[in-house]
Structure 1
Amino acid sequence: MSKVRVAVIGCGSISKHRHIPEYVSNENVELVAFVDPVIERAQGYAEQHGGKAFADYETMLAEIKPDAVSVCTPNATHAEISIAAAKAGAHVLVEKPMASTDEEAAAMIEAAASNGVKLMVGHNQRFIPAHVKAKQILKSGVLGKVLTFRTSFGHPGPDGWSIDGAGSWFFRKNEAIMGAMGDLGVHKSDLIRWLLDDEAAEVAAFIATLDKPGDVDDNASVLVRMKGGSIGTLVASWTYYKGEDNSTVLWCEKGVMKIGTDPEDQVIVELRNGTVEKHKVGAISTNEKQLASGVIDAYIDAIVNDTTPEVTGEEGRKSLAVILSAFESQASGKFVEVK
């Protein structure tokens, strides 16, 4: 079969570390275009991998007519680019958060549906081996019901990770819309929904800018009540200056499961009867140590086999809703129902 012709829109750090290398290593992909307003970045990748460089996505869509795109641009542009790509007949993989508002997310889902293309959101936490293992263990019933949880994602911030350092779009609200919550918090709202197979019902949040320059949040602590009754906390931070934390702990009826709390044993199950099980399932990717995310392979599989993507637009929308509700709670000082 012919290869999937893919264009990468936005050539920053997420493209550099994840999307581009993972497309290159997928035998079903031909990279046909790279788009970035800093044209030299796009040209560098085109020289390296073939394809053509563009400064704007409209010209690229009209000229190249790709089969599929990755949208790796600042958050504020996710919706408009994804919708334009869908209308041009291209499948869309969009980075998280998929949109800035619920209305945008709904419009993206509608555009994909009415143009007969697939829409997938890059929620890579679902593909991390430790999380896949944790979900299997939960489903087995050995721990019983999840009663309470803590899920956290913190690192020293995009000034160390982004291709533009401290001058990154991540710190400008008109481009980023939200800070640590859009960067990290939405990963965890997606993870907890997926792990527990449950939806968030209500949130209460403190969201603040404590230490970073710029006008976006760098820290958030969110109380979450799930529809199934579990309660817990979701934490996002750009000020974990002494190292990354991407861990989740689930306290259940029959014991506790610790995910990503130990560098050697990524999943630890401690049962009330004294049994301890430790699972070495592969490290969790960090900014310093990039591992294949699994997102690109899942996206291409869905296109090649004409199946539903593993993280649909609807799923991305629900995970975004949790974060938007948290901002509403911070603004109002009240508990907010997740719509």
Structure 2
Amino acid sequence: MSQLKVGMISFAHEHAFSYLDALLSIPEVTIVGIADPVPARVAEATGKHNIAYYNDYHVLLEQPMDAVVICSENALHAEITIAAASKGIHVLCEKPLGISIDEMNQMVEACERNKVQLMTAFPCRYLAAVVQAKQTVDRGEIGEIVAIKGTNRGTAPSGWFVDRSLSGGGALLDHTVHVMDLMRWFTGSEPAQVYAYASTLFNDQLKVDDAGMIHVKFENGTFGVVDTSWSRKPPFPTWGDVTMEIIGTKGVLSVDSLAQVNEVYSQQDGLGQWNYWGDNMDLHLIRSFVEAIRSGTPVPITGLDGLRSAAVALAGYQSIQEGQPVKLNA
């Protein structure tokens, strides 16, 4: 395959802008068009890069293309993915993969039935600290993993992110999936039981949870806990964090994914700032998707990976309602 023809559907999720930059940096990629029902959301991008604009994603999917990147509201992931799969188009879908087990199963099945690949956008696998930690674990330097304590504490979003009908949930869903994917990846095991707590603690105007703790027991006996919250206020230097403390039988490994920063103090800005110099995880994510599709090899982060991580968060909400641990189906 010489050129990979890629379309983008929806810039509702801000990651779309970073993914666009990544796609534009790859010579082997041609961007066929961008579809978004809100013209203003993509006008600058389409105008600056002379990319065709479509108001209706169905029209974009009629154009000759190999793959599509979906960054819509969570509630639309399934509908768009299934439509793309029916056209024989490979899919990279923003996380969480979906907002129900049933629809995520339909997404995976549609892609398998139409012989196209479905990749879940989990860029945290490409953070330098995470990559090095995975290599350390795989070498056996800390022995067998006993437990992992993780955090994903971010700045509160707005708009559709806090509308449950479009997002599927609050911080527990939004921030469980990244670290849960890393936990599954590091342990090589599937979550078997979930117990969770969630509440609205930082902004009482929200109608979704903005704080939570989710506890998981894996099939191999490993325990995991994730602090999921939108607890970072706007003045915080970064959008959030992704940390893990991995406890093994021979040692403990600490991961601070966004620690690659310079502290900048400027009278002009008035406040100290962090100038992040680490690797661009979104660029590595997009490159891996493009390489897999062009070479015909399996994508490194599958739709099933997305389903199983999101299933933990959904089970967490069930656990909160029932007030007890919930078992996950194998």
Pick aligned residue for 2:187 from 185, 192, 196: 196
Residue in 2 aligned with 1:54? Answer: 54
Structure 2 length as normaliser, TM-score? 0.88
The answer to whether the 8 Å contact 1:76/1:175 transfers is yes
Residue in 1 aligned with 2:70? Answer: 71
Q: Which runs of 5+ in 2 are unaligned?
A: 262-275
The answer to whether the 8 Å contact 1:147/1:230 transfers is yes
2-side partners of 1:75 and 1:193: how far apart?
22
Deviates most, 39-48 or 315-324: 39-48
2-side partners of 1:263 and 1:45: how far apart?
30
The superposition leaves residues 101-157 of structure 1 with CA deviations (integer Å, 9 ceiling, x where unpaired) of: 111111111111111211100011112121111111111112111112201101122
2-side partners of 1:143 and 1:322: how far apart?
26
The superposition leaves residues 140-179 of structure 1 with CA deviations (integer Å, 9 ceiling, x where unpaired) of: 1121111122011011222xxxxxxx4x110111111112
The answer to whether the 8 Å contact 1:223/1:231 transfers is yes
Residue in 2 aligned with 1:240? Answer: 232
Provide the identity percentage: 31
Residue in 2 aligned with 1:35? Answer: 35
The answer to whether the 8 Å contact 1:128/1:293 transfers is no
2-side partners of 1:45 and 1:145: how far apart?
47
Residue in 1 aligned with 2:155? Answer: 156
Residue in 2 aligned with 1:299? Answer: 289
3-state SS of paired residue (1:296): helix
2-side partners of 1:264 and 1:136: how far apart?
19
Deviation at 1:333, TM superposition (A): 0.4
Residue in 2 aligned with 1:98? Answer: 97
3-state SS of paired residue (1:46): helix
Structure 1 length as normaliser, TM-score? 0.86
**Structure 1 segments of 4 or more deviating over 3 A?**
282-285, 290-293
Q: Does 1:170 align with 2:161?
A: yes
Residue in 2 aligned with 1:308? Answer: 298
Change (3 A) 1:320 1:39: same
Change (3 A) 1:309 1:261: closer
Residue in 2 aligned with 1:183? Answer: 174
> Structure 2 counterpart of 1:14, which letter?
H
Matches of residues 178-327 of structure 1 in structure 2 within 5 Å? Answer: 178-212=169-203, 213-241=205-233, 242=236, 244-260=240-256, 263=259, 292-327=282-317
Change (3 A) 1:261 1:89: closer
> Structure 2 counterpart of 1:69, which letter?
V
3-state SS of paired residue (2:201): coil
The superposition leaves residues 256-296 of structure 1 with CA deviations (integer Å, 9 ceiling, x where unpaired) of: 1000178369xxxxxxxxxxxxxxxx9667xxxx6544111
2-side partners of 1:327 and 1:284: how far apart?
34
Deviation at 1:335, TM superposition (A): 0.5
2-side partners of 1:237 and 1:245: how far apart?
10
Tell me how many residue pairs correspond in the alignment: 309
Deviation at 1:203, TM superposition (A): 1.1
2-side partners of 1:36 and 1:262: how far apart?
31
Q: Which runs of 5+ in 1 are unaligned?
A: 159-165, 266-281
Change (3 A) 1:35 1:136: same
Change (3 A) 1:2 1:106: same
1-side partners of 2:32 and 2:310: how far apart?
31
> Structure 2 counterpart of 1:254, which letter?
K
Deviates most, 117-126 or 210-219: 210-219
Change (3 A) 1:33 1:208: same
2-side partners of 1:130 and 1:262: how far apart?
8
2-side partners of 1:264 and 1:132: how far apart?
14
Please give the root-mean-square deviation of Cα atoms over the aligned residues, in Å.
Answer: 1.9
Q: Does 1:331 align with 2:327?
A: no
Residue in 2 aligned with 1:23? Answer: 23
Change (3 A) 1:283 1:222: farther
The answer to whether the 8 Å contact 2:98/2:104 transfers is yes
Matches of residues 2-17 of structure 1 in structure 2 within 5 Å? Answer: 2-12=2-12, 13-16=14-17
